[in-house]
Structure formats: structure tokens, C-alpha cells
Amino acid sequence: MTSSPTRFLLVRHGETDWNRQGRVQGHTDIPLNDLGRAQALAAADVLSSAEPTRIIASPLGRAAETAAIITEAIGGPAVETEADFIEMQYGEAEGAVWQDIRHLYSDGVVPGAEARPAVLERSTAALRRLAAESTGTVIVASHGGVINGLTRHTTSPDEFPGSADNGSITEFAVSGSDIRFVGRTRIDAAVNVEA
């Protein structure tokens, strides 16, 4: 008998001031802003019937706070931390404006940056390991680099739904070594918050 796949709901953390400014964050620990907290609450509303068996967060504050807001709102289990869901390390590019990256690093090499395949390798390994230890639904608060990498890996170019917005929820089903993209729920970025 085959066991049911574990359902993973990956939530991209809410907005930070650096997201708003179009800056590269990576491992730089920038906190959520008011809109980011509202996005986390809006995600919690969507997740209210998910009945997670585990809630996991990247060790960075913006993901941990997103997970804490969701847990408090839905009455979920205590938040666990998983380092393999941390954002990609962007090295010298952290703090730069995204639109300047091509000019600053025209050869595509950013000193100190983590390779995208390494991010994918650690995040897929974490999903498979957690699927082997977990049942039901697992909520993971993570980052755009991780979520977009997993989504690109599990979809064809025609199926790729675009980059994950802050607060969006991307669903994967994981069974053994198989990771399958299920879909994405976008959170209304116009949650009524004064910026």
C-alpha cells in the first residue's frame, strides 16, 4: 500500500522595506513591515482550514515572524526552524537594488553568492526528509529564491506561474523522491494598510 503524499504549503514571507525598495535581501535579516504583517495575516486566513501537523520557518526573522503570525492566527503547532529553507546567499549583491545587479555583475558572477543549484539541492532534500517524517499538511514560511527554485524545478517553462509574491502560498505534494507542484494562491497585495 502506498502512503499519501505529504502536502507542503510554502508561504513566501510578508513584505519588508527592502522588498518595497527592490533591494536584494538574501541572508540580510530585514524585518517585516506593516504590509508584510498584514500579508501574513491574509495568508493565515487562507490557511485557516489547512490543519497543519507542523509549521516550519527559515531561521531569518522575516520568515519566522510570518510563521508566528500564521500559527497564532490559526492555532497551529509551535513553529520549528529549518535552515535548509533559508534564502539564497547573494554575497556582495546583498543590499543592492535588483535593477542594478546586471550592471554591477555583468559577467553573472557575484562574489560570495550561493549557487542556485545548491539552493535547490538543500531545499529539495529538506522537503523529502520532512515528507518522510511527517504526515498530512506541513506549512513552511520561506523565501522567494527557495520557492521559485522549487517551482521552476517541478514545472515546465509553459507551466511556471511566475515569481512568488510576498505572502503567496505555493503547494507541493511530496512522496518519496517525487516532488510535484500543485498550485499557487496569491494573496491580495492590496490588503488595506497605510504604507
Q: Are 4 and 136 in contact (CB under 8 A)?
A: no
Provide mean pLDDT across the span 103-118.
Answer: 91
Q: How far are the Cα atoms of 12, 62, 71, 161, 191 from residue 178, in angstroms, in the given order?
A: 22, 29, 28, 20, 35
Is 140 buried (19+), middle (13-18) or exposed (0-12) by CB count in 10 A?
buried
Buried residues in 13-23 as b, exposed as e (16+ CB within 10 A) = bbbbebbeeeb
pLDDT score recorded for residue 194: 42
More confident residue, 172 or 189: 172
Active site (catalytic) residues: 13, 87
Domains, the chain, ranges and CATH? 6-185 (3.40.50.1240)
Average pLDDT, the chain: 94
Q: Are 80 and 58 in contact (CB under 8 A)?
A: no
**Cell numbers given for 57:** 520557518
pTM exceeds cut of 0.85: yes
**Confidence band of 109 (pLDDT split at 50, 70, 90):** confident
